[in-house]
Structure 1
Amino acid sequence: MNLRFAAVLLLPCGLAHAEPRLTQNDFGGVGLWQTPTARMSPAGELSVNANRTEPYSRYSVALQPFDWLEGAFRYTSITNRPYGPESLSGGQSYKDKAVDLKVRLWQETHWAPDVALGFRDIGGTGLFSSEFLVANKRYDDFDFSAGIAWGYLGNRGDFDNPAGWLDDRFKTRPNMEGTGDVNAGAYFRGKPSLFGGVTYQTPWDRLSLKLEYEGNDYKHEPKDNVIKQDSPINLGAVFKVTDSLDVSAAWERGNTAMFGLTFHTNFVSRKAPAKRFDPPAEPLPAKAPAVAMEEVNWPDVSRRLQQNAGYKVERISQRGSELIVYGEQGRYFHSAKAVGRASRILDNSVNQDIDWFTLVNKRYDLPLEETSVPRQTFREVLNNEEPLQALHRTTEINPAMPHNEKTLYSEARDPFSYGAGLGFKQNVGGPDGFFYQFSADADAEYRFNRNTWWSGLLSANLLNNFDGFKYDAPSGLPRVRTDLRQYLTTSEVTMPLFQFSHAEQLDKDLYGMVYGGYLESMFAGVGGEVLFRPAGQRWSVGADLNYVRQREFDQGFGLRDYSVVTGHITGYTDLPYDTLAAVSVGRYLAGDWGTTVDLSREFSNGVRFGAWATITTATGAQYGEGSFDKGLYLSIPFDELMSMSTMRRANLVWSPLTRDGGARLNRSFQLHSMTDSRDNDMFYRNFEKITE
């Protein structure tokens, strides 16, 4: 009995040794309540947060593109302050937009702590701007943090700024409120304060407790808000409802309750839904069919290649012991899966004289790459007679080249295709709040030949609150984007796209395209693009030139008076850590000249986190609040979200403000994305899908 009783007492102690969980702070990003910690979520983490601490309602999204870098964008409603006169914004409260950044400087070891440097409100209005240096050390179930902060987090001003010994300007912090610019002139200036706290992982793995000492005394709140602080100590709990949902409750300032929700997932570690609605892959035959090549039912093979492997076949040819399929793969996001399924179908259909299956992938008749699979090795891997690495070593990806070959079958072209689905638009860049539109979209395409086509899109409004978007903002530039509300509310049925296009492979690695029509919801015109993209290389360069006129607000066939010549030269290059950099130089829709820098991290499953910034010849006064264009985006393949395979993507873009400076033409077809399969990294990173 005594031994049993002792075991029961020891059981909770054994359960308590899980590491303290990483949870979000009130502002978004890993931390305690008001303060950050040096901890970082694993790469690929996405957190969506909402919380309420009178008088602030905060909504944020935190992204972890790398293990050592955390970014967040935040939308704060100061509910006891109006945005402005009632004639301007009605009863709307003041809205603040901000971007935060945190970088790990040192990773925890046995003796040394995690150390991170961070910036709050790095590119926003400056209302909550702050800089901090923070360290964390873990001891069993406790995770301790301590740091020093300037700006909002350190408003108490515990001591004189040590940097003031070097330069007197560090002794005082300038007022950067309302600039909307990068607040570099205020970094690490003014009196700092200390902050810190601890997270305790309870024996119940769903429950974490957090206590902090913050460096803000609430005597210098934005918009002259009078907030009383009875205590600098905040404490509360985070409860893990599910693997993807946390609920938080805390007592802050010694007198105010906080409640919050966090939805989170990790796009690296999570598993995509099982593809229950995909057709099953064809099983391999016991042995190759004995039928002669001339007697193969090629129309049936073509049908199976389209229905099961996603290849819309153009023709099937033979070159010695190699069978070559030319077509456009339009179903599977991971091309290795399409290649594997096509190889199964061909292995089921042709005799033993064929040793190699080659799939030539084309897009609008642009030859992109050819993937060659050794038949015998493929069979041995599927039959578990050889490891997958054997197939990986022998499968070849080469530039698509003309061959001396015998055509066995040509598929008649089906020129017309169409589809339907739901559309979604959002805007969080204005003071009136979050605006959205749900629409029913119908798209269609007609191919006059394989590389000349018409594409169109009709959109019918289902649900839309843009009619409450009353503030268009002053602009010293032509209104090329700030008329957004009129474009979304003038007509219930719109035609965002009505375009004719023609594409050509101009040389081995050179592609070209010309186009004309109603190119996007706000502009119509004509243009052309060229792209030099060497196969297998990690760089490319392209250029586009367009003459466009502004469309009428109803998005019909009418045009307005404003016209402009716009275009860019863009260089693309791969950087370490699966990062893509794109730098564009040229003329924008408002006639301003400048440069856009776009950096993105793409994970092996195709999920992409990215950010951009555009600096142009438009002055701060012409551009208006924000001074220059910048934003963050998240691109998620629907393949990661759905139970059926698809090549479509969901693109979520967040920009602090919608302004006219730095605006680019939103073309539906761009050669760089059309030729993405020439980069074979994604194929090899997901090579195991060749067996699915």
Structure 2
Amino acid sequence: MKLCIAAVLLVPCGVAHGEPRYTQNDFGGVGLLQTPTARMAPLGELSVNASRTDPYSRYSFSAQPLDWLEGTFRYTAITNRPYGPESFSGGQSYKDKAVDAKVRLYEESHWLPQVALGMMDLGGTGLFSSEYLVANKRYGDVDFSAGIAWGYMGSRGDLGNPLGALDDRFNQRPTAEGSGSFSNGYFRGRPALFGGVAYQTPWAPLSLKLEYEGNDYQHEPRDNNQRQDSPINLGLVFKVADSIDLSAAWERGNTAMFGITLHTNFVSRKAPVKTYDPPPPPLPAQAPTTPMDQVDWAAVSKRLQDNAGYSVQRIAQRGPELLVYGEQQRYFHGAKAVGRASRILDNSVNDQISWFTLVSERYAMPIEETSVPRETFREVVANREDLQDLHRQTEVNRASAHNQTVLYTQSANPLSYGAGLGYKQNVGGPDGLLYQVSADLDAEYRFTRNTWWSGLLSVNLLNNYDGFTYDAPSGLPRVRTDLRKYMTTSDVTLPTFQLNRAVQLDQDLYGMVYGGLLESMYAGVGSEVLYRSMGQRWALGADLNYVRQRGFEQDFSLRDYRTLTGHITGYTDLPFNTQGALSVGRYLARDWGATLDLSRQFNNGVRIGAWVTRTTASKEAYGEGSFDKGLYLSIPFDELMSLSTLRRANLVWAPLTRDGGARLNRAYSLHSMTDGRDSDLFYKNFEKITE
């Protein structure tokens, strides 16, 4: 991941302004202080939150992937409790990881309040587990909330459980096991009422919060009960800028709270102006008159590379249609590349040509072809015709063979390379946040258009893994929990060094074989096939890999452990603009199982997702956490930088690193390589065709 991702959250996006905005509570997630509300952040909102209320330091990441769904990953340090015996954890405080979710059940209307249902510590250790039902009603600048909570937030137990009328088991709440399993104790035990009010003051940056909480702090985790002089908490939020909130409060009647939230929104925010991109070529006053066989196609090809990002393989003509075959290597939004290529072609060919078709390839595999009507494109760019006219006439189809006359063929440039900063992190265990910053050099050499070598050389710059003292116990082969040794044994490593070949087996079927150093911990050989029809909402793939564990130095040395691993994966679109992937197969620790991945991709390519993996590994063999799960965020660098790029920044939050449910981290995926077969992203960003 490139470090410039931090700029999105850390640099203010503008000065403060006065419209009401829902803010985060102490735990992460929209709310008051110690309590949530039924409110939701705007769609696409992302926030990083930190708060301190003695003895708890809380760090969280919250996301709004759907307008009715909020998700939070939280990391809590209980600073007055050790992680374990000093011989085991040194001076480290106890750490807790949790995932929360809140679902809006009803949106506020004129007469009725907004209602939401939420769960804290969903599938986590259960130390702070709580369930709640909450309602909100706004009157001008005042927003009232009231709810009922079970578990941690309702530990005062003011009420009998109304669900006890359904089953006596609801009257008793099981003790949290701290295992990371999904609980069977949801909505059980005596609940308590909570509520409060948020007030937006006339001074735009300042809002005030007052709440009554249902926790009496006499049932705290780790026998850590706290004195509570009052159940009423009072606080404020000061909006330093659109991307920064500072919070302060007086809680429990005797304890101060301080917090900070850094946030942005990838739906409403504008990507930086691409000041380092070349300007789009102007359209000619009239079409050139040069005969087609006298065009300097080598010069056209170079302009297509320099300005439109196309590495041209060949240029051909079929009647009034000009076809350009190549690999687009610069612009994240395909419409922008197609528009710039159309400008260049309009400047280069005579009026015999009425259609421009860009045939997109990846490693010589035809993916899709986009055909643009020349005259309509010219009229739209000149503002003489509406963009919707061009939208209706532009076609995105399966790339297929044509009877054509080849006008130009370009030899490939075999070597490409790049340098940048890399970032790795691991959150979990007594050591807190572990990270590495590295200088990375990646390179690729193409022997043919579909056979290539790729590699990555990484040099450690900054690393706190050398203080990593905890190797988790495991009842499985150590396929991932030797992480510390891989991160600290050598400062110069070869994470990948592999040979690859990809082919189109049929018009909708793709295949790939590869071998070498496949990732930082494994070397081996493998293959993948994918069926993906043009414009369809589903795809089916399979991969099979024979791998051997690498030496801790991450050079060419190997260890004894070896295994066969692979999966069959189905991909499909789901309701609410979400995507799902279900993988079934064998994992690195020789356990069998399935991984379910659910995600939401916004129009600008930002993706928020979560996964869960259950395998044949028992809870005892897996260890703390019981099964694998996590959240991830994938952001195109195009959203962060003033230079167009296809690269992405990927952040992953997994509560624990364990050996069960571990998959091979392959460098290439046919599904991502064939993304052009899904034309939605092209049409959702169609306005970029004029940029």
- Tell me the CA shift for residue 335 of structure 1: 0.2
Asked if 1:316 is matched to 2:315, the reply is yes
- Identify the residue that residue 275 of structure 2 maps to in structure 1: 276
8 Å contact 2:19–2:204 — kept in the other structure? no
> Where in structure 2 are the equivalents of 1:193-342 lying within 5 Å?
193-342=192-341
Asked if 1:600 is matched to 2:596, the reply is no
8 Å contact 2:358–2:370 — kept in the other structure? yes
- Tell me the CA shift for residue 135 of structure 1: 0.1
- Identify the residue that residue 11 of structure 1 maps to in structure 2: none
- Tell me the CA shift for residue 336 of structure 1: 0.1
- Identify the residue that residue 126 of structure 2 maps to in structure 1: 126
Measure the CA separation in 2 of the matches of 1:149 and 1:177.
20
CA-to-aligned-CA distance 1:365-413 (integer Å, 9 cap, x gap): 0100000000000000011111000000000011111111111111111
> Where in structure 2 are the equivalents of 1:386-425 lying within 5 Å?
386-425=385-424
CA-to-aligned-CA distance 1:246-282 (integer Å, 9 cap, x gap): 0000000000000000001110000000000000000
292-301 vs 148-157, which moves further: 292-301
8 Å contact 1:130–1:149 — kept in the other structure? yes
Measure the CA separation in 2 of the matches of 1:281 and 1:20.
40
Measure the CA separation in 1 of the matches of 2:147 and 2:509.
53
CA-to-aligned-CA distance 1:528-566 (integer Å, 9 cap, x gap): 110000011010000001100000000000110000000
- Tell me the CA shift for residue 483 of structure 1: 0.5
**What amino acid maps onto 2:80 in structure 1?**
N
- Identify the residue that residue 457 of structure 1 maps to in structure 2: 456
Gaps of 5+ in 2: 1-16
- Identify the residue that residue 7 of structure 2 maps to in structure 1: none
- Identify the residue that residue 4 of structure 2 maps to in structure 1: none
**What amino acid maps onto 1:98 in structure 2?**
A
Asked if 1:31 is matched to 2:31, the reply is yes
Measure the CA separation in 2 of the matches of 1:431 and 1:178.
15
Gaps of 5+ in 1: 1-16
- Identify the residue that residue 11 of structure 2 maps to in structure 1: none
SS in 1 for 2:227: coil
- Identify the residue that residue 13 of structure 2 maps to in structure 1: none
**What amino acid maps onto 2:170 in structure 1?**
F
Measure the CA separation in 1 of the matches of 2:437 and 2:59.
21
Measure the CA separation in 2 of the matches of 1:437 and 1:134.
41
8 Å contact 1:317–1:406 — kept in the other structure? yes
SS in 2 for 1:302: helix
- Identify the residue that residue 63 of structure 1 maps to in structure 2: 63
8 Å contact 2:458–2:494 — kept in the other structure? yes
**What amino acid maps onto 1:99 in structure 2?**
V
Measure the CA separation in 2 of the matches of 1:424 and 1:473.
23
SS in 2 for 1:186: coil
- Tell me the CA shift for residue 472 of structure 1: 1.2
- Tell me the CA shift for residue 577 of structure 1: 2.4
- Identify the residue that residue 498 of structure 2 maps to in structure 1: 499
- Tell me the CA shift for residue 126 of structure 1: 0.6
- Tell me the CA shift for residue 19 of structure 1: 5.9
SS in 2 for 1:408: strand
Q: Supply the RMSD in Å over aligned alpha carbons.
A: 0.9
- Identify the residue that residue 654 of structure 2 maps to in structure 1: 655
Asked if 1:609 is matched to 2:584, the reply is no
**What amino acid maps onto 2:450 in structure 1?**
N
Asked if 1:635 is matched to 2:634, the reply is yes
- Tell me the CA shift for residue 162 of structure 1: 1.6
Measure the CA separation in 2 of the matches of 1:85 and 1:181.
24
CA-to-aligned-CA distance 1:442-481 (integer Å, 9 cap, x gap): 0111111000000011000000000111111110100000
8 Å contact 1:19–1:141 — kept in the other structure? no
- Identify the residue that residue 12 of structure 2 maps to in structure 1: none
TM-score (normalizing by structure 2): 0.97
**What amino acid maps onto 1:113 in structure 2?**
P
Asked if 1:573 is matched to 2:572, the reply is yes
SS in 2 for 1:144: strand
- Identify the residue that residue 10 of structure 2 maps to in structure 1: none
Asked if 1:685 is matched to 2:660, the reply is no
172-181 vs 57-66, which moves further: 172-181
Identity %: 75
Measure the CA separation in 2 of the matches of 1:319 and 1:20.
58
8 Å contact 2:237–2:248 — kept in the other structure? yes
- Identify the residue that residue 85 of structure 1 maps to in structure 2: 85
Asked if 1:432 is matched to 2:463, the reply is no
Measure the CA separation in 1 of the matches of 2:440 and 2:41.
37
SS in 2 for 1:307: helix
**What amino acid maps onto 2:540 in structure 1?**
V
Measure the CA separation in 1 of the matches of 2:48 and 2:656.
20
**What amino acid maps onto 1:121 in structure 2?**
D
- Identify the residue that residue 474 of structure 2 maps to in structure 1: 475
Query: 1 or 2 for the larger relative contact order (CA 8 Å, sep ≥6)?
Result: 2
**What amino acid maps onto 1:345 in structure 2?**
I
- Tell me the CA shift for residue 89 of structure 1: 1.3
- Identify the residue that residue 47 of structure 1 maps to in structure 2: 47
- Tell me the CA shift for residue 172 of structure 1: 1.1
8 Å contact 1:21–1:208 — kept in the other structure? no
Measure the CA separation in 2 of the matches of 1:464 and 1:487.
12
**What amino acid maps onto 2:55 in structure 1?**
P
8 Å contact 2:325–2:359 — kept in the other structure? yes
Measure the CA separation in 1 of the matches of 2:54 and 2:129.
19
Measure the CA separation in 2 of the matches of 1:578 and 1:650.
22
- Tell me the CA shift for residue 166 of structure 1: 2.3
8 Å contact 1:20–1:200 — kept in the other structure? no
8 Å contact 1:38–1:115 — kept in the other structure? yes
- Tell me the CA shift for residue 21 of structure 1: 2.2
- The 1:166/1:578 distance shift into structure 2, 3 A limit, reads closer
8 Å contact 2:362–2:673 — kept in the other structure? yes
SS in 1 for 2:379: helix
CA-to-aligned-CA distance 1:215-234 (integer Å, 9 cap, x gap): 00000111111311000000
Measure the CA separation in 1 of the matches of 2:632 and 2:192.
34
- Tell me the CA shift for residue 87 of structure 1: 1.4
Measure the CA separation in 2 of the matches of 1:507 and 1:112.
56
- Identify the residue that residue 164 of structure 1 maps to in structure 2: 164
- Identify the residue that residue 101 of structure 1 maps to in structure 2: 101
**What amino acid maps onto 1:462 in structure 2?**
L
